[in-house]
Amino acid sequence: MKRKSFNRNAVLAAVMLGISSLSLTGCGQKTSEEHMLAARQFVEAKDNPSAIIEYKSAIQKDPEDPNARFELGQLYLQQKDFAAAEKELNRALDLGYEVSEVLPLITRAYQETNSEVALSEINHNVDGLTPVKRAEVTYYKLEALLRLEKTKEARVLLDDIAQIDTSSVYKGLSLALGKVLDDDYEGALQAIDTLHQQAPLNKDVLMQQARLNMYLRNLDAAVTAYDAYLDVAPDDTETKFILTAILMDAKRFADAAPLVDELLQKSATNPLLNQFKGVIEAREGNFGVALKHLETAIQNGRNDPLARLLAGFCAYQLEDYAATTRHLSMIASDLPPSHAALRMLANSLLQQGKNEEATDILARVDGEAENDAMLFSKAGYQLLQSGNVVDAKAMIEKSVPIATSAEDLTRIGVLQLSINDAEGLVNLEAAVERAPELTMGQQTLANAYIATRQFDKALEVAENWQKTEPQNAQPWLVKGQVYLAQQNYEAAEAAIIKAEALDSNSIKAKIQRVSLAMVQKQPQQALDAINQALTIDPTDQASLALLYIVQKQIGKANEAVNTIQEVVARHPDEDVPKTILARVYLAEKRVADGIELIEQVKLNDDTPDLYWDTRGRLLLAGSRINEAKAHYEAWLNEQPNHKTAVLGMAMILDLQSRFQNGVELTAGFLEKRPDRQIEIVKAHFHAMLRQIPQTEAILNQLSEQEKQLPYVKGIRARLQLYRDNPTAAIPNALAAYEAIPNTRNLLLAMAAYEMAGQPDKAFELVTEFRENNPDNTQAMLLFAERLIQRDRSKAIDVYRQLAEKQPENAIALNNLAYLEHQEGMLEAAEEHARQALKLVPKAPEIADTLAQVLIDKGETEDAKAIYDSVMSEPVRSDEIYLNYIELLLEMDLTPLAKRRLADRIFEAADSKARVAELEQQYNL
């Protein structure tokens, strides 16, 4: 039978618990001595927490007992709670405990808490210290004096230490520090190495050995010493940190890694440790983990450029271009032109569509790296895509001198042709000559020759291309395109047949067949080809658009609409068919249907560009101006230099009479992309602001052909009206109106006629416009205003129609009330005037209409109240103001009338005449 084994400490603890219980029950509360006895028993049982409680209880019973303080301090020191040890040992000294007993312990506590000042003030000459203890105490004191740079006191202490009769390593350590004081670091290290042989596990010896080797750049020896030190002092976190930094600096990442992991467990947000971890993980290719730690380092105050650089590199490897930009942009200004990080930053910006910011970075790149030509041309391409021609040209010019490969020459050639630079053809020819197998080069060169009508060269490219790629259908399509341009339809047909034989699923071949059929006026054959293309890809944008165009030409637009509707129904997740159908609805004037459909398209990276233009046009056509404005703002936010977006926004600004905003919009566009059409729009905005010199500066640089454009003639007419030359303005205004018969051009033409003394012509024009646009309320207003002098009764009818259509049109209501008043219809006039004033309560013109009606009804008090409600506002009309004065005089409110007259200065002759008349009539 086995004997049971018992845990000695557990039994002892149980016995002590029993004793404690007996003493509590038998004798009441314990005395200080009993607490001390219990504490010592707990210490023996290695139950330090319980011992500390008992010591504290003893101190509570007898605060003046130095023994409890000393023993508690000693226990704290063993537990490495050095601050608490320092406190209790100092109290023990103050209470008279034997100094020679306390001093070695408190010296160690001071040393561990870096209390140099307290250490430097220790009295090392107290009686009772053994030579060994004195040597240890004086060593720590010497260290403190050296740290405090008290060299004189240190030398005096060294003399005392030399007299201590002991072979203790601490005497040797002190004497070695004396050599350091004399700048004899080699000698000091030799002495320390000798002491190491004497005491290989002494942590102070190991620490000094590590420090001296580090100072003398004996890196391996220093690391060995630090390792040995940590073996005997594994809880010294500060030294682990130091060793980690040394290993990282020495690029001994594998050795540093376990230390970094251990320290991070204790301090997870430490910025330097996280940077170390980031470096280690990045070297292992763990970029995601590395980035996480590097960003933690940065977020916690690590602003080291290395942290930003490495974080940017890791993010770039992860293709997280936003994070790459965030980090590298912080240090870009400090990087030299040859630094790879600038290229990473530029490419990241390009990937995010931040083309102009990328251009600023690339402007600093020296263009010597292998891939710089590709980077410059990529920037140029994206700048062109965003409409920034100015900066695109700069990038192309920078890439030309360093382009060497066929791929580089092809890209640059394409870009040059995009900005109408003929040098692009030269680069494309060189690219094809160097790499005839490069499909993109062949295709682009052929397209360039066709665009410049160099058909023989285009055919030569196709022939050579066929030699290198006989199974490729593309060369045959190049030939087909050439033959179509040359009107050699038989040869074009043959080329298309060859292309289809090589690639029966080529949509390009089907589209080319559509072009051939249409120029030969064979719409049915065109439809057959379109249907074949749609069989290959039912959602192809070009095929769906051509379907509507061809069907429209033969009078079967509804069939095209039905077909596209079926495609949308079969492919509900595809945005292209929805966008095409919405565009078709716009053409068919089914604006509401178009808006409803286009709103189903969700914006994402695959959203077709056609969406932006289509939705904007639909919203404008539906008079949803605010939504259209928000749409164009969003478009410009995505593509700030997109010409169509700028034109759409310009139209809205024009409708809202925000002409200065229009100038700013077009000027910003022209800074990045010179464009004649936008310049002309800018001239229009200047003209609307009566900025004649700026307008003429633009018009004078136009070609003769451009000056004949109706839009330009409209601008010219406006300038002629400003210069009081309406006769010359009439033909220009009519040209603008006939080309674009909208209300703005109608007003321009009417103004020209009326200023030239031809009001009947103006009336004919507005009458015709109203007949063609019966729902145009602005035209109704213009028409009704001109009727007032011709036929008041008819004018009243028109205003009543307008009031029914637009019950919130205050101008129509006020004019109607005025006419009804003139015709003696006082009740109707009052009703309509009150409706208008309710809509615009502070309008003096409307208040005057209503007040005059009330005066004629004999309700002068009400009339005065109406005038009073608006007289606090600026009243521009002298006539209205004098109507008010006359009412005051009629009501015998002469003093108030006089004050009101004195408040205003009258400049117009007719106003002065009326004032004089009132003064005479009322004896003022």
Burial level of 401, CB count in 10 A (0-12/13-18/19+)? Answer: exposed
Q: So what's the pLDDT on residue 473? A: 87
- Please say if the pLDDT value at position 858 is more than 70: yes
The residue type of 706 is E
Percent of the chain whose pLDDT exceeds 90? 26
- Please say if the pLDDT value at position 841 is more than 70: yes
Q: So what's the pLDDT on residue 244? A: 86
Q: Which residue has the higher pLDDT, 394 or 55?
A: 55
- Please say if the pLDDT value at position 487 is more than 70: yes
d(CA 891, CA 759): 41
Region of 649 please: left (phi>0), alpha (psi -120 to 50) or beta.
Answer: alpha
- Please say if the pLDDT value at position 433 is more than 60: no
- Please say if the pLDDT value at position 554 is more than 60: yes
Q: Locate tokens 């646009």: which residue?
A: 773
- Please say if the pLDDT value at position 859 is more than 90: yes
**What confidence tens digit (pLDDT) does each residue in 343-360 have?**
677 777 767 766 667 666
d(CA 173, CA 175): 5
Average pLDDT over residues 528-545: 91
Average pLDDT over residues 427-449: 49
**What confidence tens digit (pLDDT) does each residue in 300-356 have?**
888 777 888 888 888 878 889 888 888 888 877 776 666 666 767 777 776 776 666
DSSP 336-381: -TT-HHHHHHHHHHHHTT-HHHHHHHHTT--S-STTHHHHHHHHHH
Average pLDDT over residues 94-98: 81
Q: So what's the pLDDT on residue 608? A: 74
d(CA 660, CA 666): 10
Q: Are 849 and 817 in contact (CB under 8 A)?
A: yes
Mean pLDDT over each residue of the chain, to the nearest integer = 82
- Please say if the pLDDT value at position 744 is more than 80: yes
The residue type of 641 is N
- Please say if the pLDDT value at position 434 is more than 50: no
Other CB atoms closer than 10 Å to residue 868's CB: what's the count? 12
- Please say if the pLDDT value at position 160 is more than 90: no
Q: Are 248 and 310 in contact (CB under 8 A)?
A: no
Least confident of 11-15, 102-106, 707-711: 11-15
Average pLDDT over residues 85-114: 82
DSSP state of 405: S
Q: At 419, which helix (H) or strand (E)?
A: none
Q: Which residue has the higher pLDDT, 160 or 661?
A: 661
Q: So what's the pLDDT on residue 391? A: 52
Rg (CA), the chain: 48
Q: So what's the pLDDT on residue 338? A: 62
**What confidence tens digit (pLDDT) does each residue in 234-268 have?**
888 888 888 888 888 888 889 889 998 998 898 89
Q: So what's the pLDDT on residue 3? A: 34
For 631, the 3-state DSSP assignment is helix
Q: What angle do CA 721, 724, 729 make, to 5 degrees?
A: 40
pTM score of the predicted model? 0.56
d(CA 1, CA 17): 31
- Enumerate the H helices of 624-690 as residue ranges: 625-638, 643-655, 659-672, 676-688
**What confidence tens digit (pLDDT) does each residue in 194-210 have?**
888 888 888 888 888 88
- Please say if the pLDDT value at position 644 is more than 80: yes
Other CB atoms closer than 10 Å to residue 775's CB: what's the count? 8
Q: At 438, which helix (H) or strand (E)?
A: none
Average pLDDT over residues 408-437: 41
- Please say if the pLDDT value at position 404 is more than 50: no
Q: Locate tokens 């007419």: which residue?
A: 717
Q: So what's the pLDDT on residue 364? A: 59
**What confidence tens digit (pLDDT) does each residue in 878-917 have?**
999 999 999 999 999 999 989 988 888 888 999 999 989 9
- At the fourth CATH level, the homologous superfamily of domain 8-194 is Tetratricopeptide repeat domain (1.25.40.10)
**Domain spans in the chain, listed from the N-terminal domain onward:** 8-194
